[in-house]
Structure 1
Amino acid sequence: MPETDLTDTRARMTGTVPSSKILTTEIPRYAEDYASRLLSIPDTASAVADALDELGVGAVIDSTDLNPVTNDARMCGPAVTLRYVPLGGDVTGNRVAGRGITFGDRDLYGLGRSGDVAVMDCSGSRSGAVMGALSARWAVKAEMGGCVVDGAIRDTASIIASGLPVWSTARRPAAARYRYETVQMNGPVSLCGHLVNPGDYLVADIDGVCVIPFFDVPRVVDYCENAHRTEVAFIERIDAESTLEDLVAGVTPGTAPV
């Protein structure tokens, strides 16, 4: 793989991850602030999930698979990605051999821009936490919009204190050190079995996580905004009726929003 030009981002990166493992430093981006438009809609993940169903695109992952560190966490933004693989052998042998001692989270945050979402794929392993207190502080300094980890995190209380929105598939006090190797940064990754490419939008709240393919973002946002206007009108109708009987009498079966 040819080395990636890091000239424009080098000041934000530690240089821990060799450029040969960084697929690209750029992701596709929109000039329009679609993230803010989606976050202005209540119950954002549910609204996006409806849009993905109707348009036949993207993926939805429930909160039992990707659990937020706090119930009020909300997030939306384009993905920058990192993929790990578990090392063979045991921790003692890897420590003695000097294996599994460098990780890519800091450089991932450096590649990102304000509001981006860091997506970490641990190749199905939960043996060690790839994100903890220091990583969360670094992400906040980099102004990341949040992190989604298909793997374990730790130092949960400190992550919560940092204010960073984080979702993960597990929590485990053991560190990733001596357990993982960085394979690739800013390439395609798997999130609970669903493909995520750099630039795809991640939307998450207490109900779960949605993946919007980059080129589908505008029509997903349009669908959500139109559906929200319909829902607001229906809520006003519910509130305006004096009794349940009056409400039921005025509703055509099968026409009410969910």
Structure 2
Amino acid sequence: MSVITRCFAFVLALYSASSVSAELELGAGVFHANIPLYIGARESKSYTLPVPYVRYRSERLNLDRRSATGYLWQHNNWHLDISATAGIAVDSGESKARDGMDDLDWVFELGPALDYYVVGHYNQPSYFKLGVFTRKALATDFTRIDDIGFKAGPYAQWRQRLWQQGAQSITLTSRLAINYASSQYADYFYAVPAAAANSLRSEYTSGNGYGGEEVSLGLSYDSRRWWFGGFVKYYRIKDAKWRDSPLVERNHSVAFGFGLAWKFYNNRG
């Protein structure tokens, strides 16, 4: 629990330090997504949920529905950031390949990223950046926390403001990442312990190494009162270190989603 507490305290400190020239938006909406149970699974699952809309932007912290990013240091075009992401828990009974195995818990990842802005700047509507990230991963069912290793890799991200009129805008964002992972991280998703092996899946343990590529594309409309957006994300693990795991049923996975939110509060500091 001390790891989560320290992470929360760090983000809170960033928030406190970034109150000048900040913008906070609050709202409510609905979001629909279809995502694979895990990368390489044959099955996927759809979610349609009412969700709160929270967006905070400042010189030190950017928080939205997808991630939290704290800006730690910058020099010319170089930026050192810290970001966090989360993955949804999986009931192994919903996967034919994992049936009878332990469920996959919620996975939270946190770590630094070093970015170089080739064009633009992080707080501008359009930019192109190259970077490298590393994140510590923790799995939890909210009664315990397990260390499941880390993920790292290089990436490129492009954001382009396609249209703007007053407070209304349409923005396109794309990202390409190449992933590497520790053996502990890979084994959490793809290992088959001896106790879970059967005639359909043999015992398997992965090593650390190449984890495949991912490409995402997002499009959003934003105004003072409304936000609408969607995304599609493609994963390729054909050449991943753990491709031979009996839990990997496909070389490719696709996730997509879209949502609509009404903003009832907008405050610019």
Q: Same fold (TM over 0.5)?
A: no
Report which of the two has the higher share of helix: 1
TM-score calculated relative to the size of structure 2: 0.26
Work out which structure has the larger RCO, using CA pairs closer than 8 Å and 6 or more positions apart in sequence.
1
